[in-house]
Amino acid sequence: MSLRQAATLGAAQTATTMALSFISVKVTSVFLGPAGLGTLGQFTYFITMTQAVLAAGLNIGLVRRTAELGDDRPARERVVSTVLRALVIAGIPVALVIAASSGWLARELLHDASLGIPFVVFAALFVLGLAASVVIACANGAKDFRTLTFINMGTAVSSLALIVALCPPFGVLGGVLAMALLPLASWTIAWLLARRRDWWPRRPLAHGFDAREARGIVAFVPMAVISAVGLPLLQILIRDAVAGHGGMADVGLLQGVVRISDMYLGVATSIFAMYYFPRFSEIADAGELVREAKRGLAIIVPTVAVVSFAIWLLRDLVIRILFTAEFNAMRDLFAWQMLGNTLKMVGWLFGYLLLAKANALAMAALETVTIVVWWLLSLAFIAHNGTIGAPQAYAVTYALYSVATFVGVAFVVRRMRATPRAAVA
């Protein structure tokens, strides 16, 4: 796949999800208010974290393994069966724990003990969400990016439909229930689109469990878990710190500006996943690797910077269109958030290069240090500056992350030049 194709599909997906997100943000801001939006954000991060703790590393390994196997259909089916069986075996106990702890989770994470039912609903659908992630990984590994895009777009449509159906009559409870039901929608859409594709087995659980394949895929778990679990957990902790300083209404202000960021950063995220990760992985020449990285810096980073600056200039209009007057105080958060978004793209470009070429343990250590630094900066800035301290910590963290990953890339390139055509371990 070319960069242009990846950008086109990423742009189409992001344009659709942005349009849907605009409506979703408007509905939730009107019917939930700042405090309700903050509660919804906390629950969303919990969903992301609990699913990622099991699926993230296995799915990274699955993407790579299915791509390696190519047209070897029996081997692909055996790998899919192995991953699905592992996730079902691990997922059922986790789901039971979530259901049993629903009251405590509602009280501690959402600060409302009456919101325990959505945790039970999410627990009942937990394994379906894991299975949907396996379908997505298979589509990615098979380079069927059209189907992958349709799955993501269909999930976004389903998310909006649930929000629109449940928020107006049920308020905060309806919004949280909508997110709890999303794994069912994701699995249904993924299965409907995948069942006629050659890369998806007709009987996905019927091909046994291969211990050797499992060991190879599990090697990707530690780093993925640190990132996929640590970052959502960090967001929950940051929002708890904001809530302790200014209440759940301030959490809603922060969640609002983060949701705006997520909308337009989706294009860059899609390009990194679809194009740059496999592209960096296949390059063996240091000069070519440097040229590809420079190309990304020259295209993606300036584009994100321009869009971020435009959103900052139009922040009052954005708030007026997407939110309500209750969110006017959010305007003070935009400058630091938009700066952080631009710096994040620099760090991500270098980070994906390191993910493709550097030692997995070194990347796990870098992710761990980044999360700890971000958390400590957030505590300090929020305590000193209030809610605006959260986006300030975000921007400073990704400035440091960009420097660290650049240094790492310099070492990787130097090593590749010293050992031409040798793989970087």
What average pLDDT does range 343-347 have in this prediction? 94
What average pLDDT does range 344-363 have in this prediction? 83
Q: CB within 8 A of 395, min separation 6: which ones?
A: 336, 337, 339, 340, 343
Classify 33 in phi/psi space as left (phi over 0), alpha (psi -120 to 50) or beta. left
252-311, pLDDT tens digit by residue? 889 889 888 887 787 777 777 777 776 777 777 888 889 999 988 998 889 899 999 999
Please tell me the least confidently modeled range out of 121-130, 220-229, 415-424: 415-424
Q: Which of 110, 232, 118, 120 is nearest to 178 (CA)?
A: 118
R_g of the chain, CA atoms, integer Å: 21
Give the model's pLDDT for residue 421. 53
Percent of the chain with pLDDT over 70: 93
Give the model's pLDDT for residue 99. 96
Q: CB within 8 A of 381, min separation 6: which ones?
A: 388, 389, 390, 392, 393
Q: Which residue has the tokens 């939730």?
A: 28
Q: Angle, nearest 10°, between helix axes 145-194 and 116-124?
A: 90
The Cα 397–Cα 377 span in angstroms is: 8
55-64, pLDDT tens digit by residue? 877 777 777 6
- Whether pLDDT at 403 is above 70: yes
49-82, pLDDT tens digit by residue? 888 878 877 777 777 677 667 677 888 888 889 8
- Whether pLDDT at 173 is above 90: yes
- Whether pLDDT at 369 is above 90: yes
Give the model's pLDDT for residue 209. 84
pLDDT band per the 50, 70, 90 thresholds, residue 424: very low
Q: Which residue has the higher pLDDT, 3 or 107?
A: 107
pLDDT band per the 50, 70, 90 thresholds, residue 359: low
Q: Which residue has the higher pLDDT, 408 or 211?
A: 408
The Cα 364–Cα 355 span in angstroms is: 10
Give the model's pLDDT for residue 238. 92
Please tell me the least confidently modeled range out of 13-27, 29-43, 165-179: 13-27
- Whether pLDDT at 122 is above 70: yes
Q: CB within 8 A of 38, min separation 6: which ones?
A: 239, 243, 248, 249, 250, 251, 252, 254, 255
210-248, pLDDT tens digit by residue? 877 777 677 667 777 787 778 878 988 998 899 888 788
- Whether pLDDT at 3 is above 60: yes
Give the model's pLDDT for residue 385. 93
Q: CB within 8 A of 89, min separation 6: which ones?
A: none
- Whether pLDDT at 425 is above 50: no
Query: Over the chain, what is the mean pLDDT?
Result: 85
Q: Which of 313, 306, 311, 272 is nearest to 292 (CA)?
A: 272
The Cα 159–Cα 76 span in angstroms is: 31
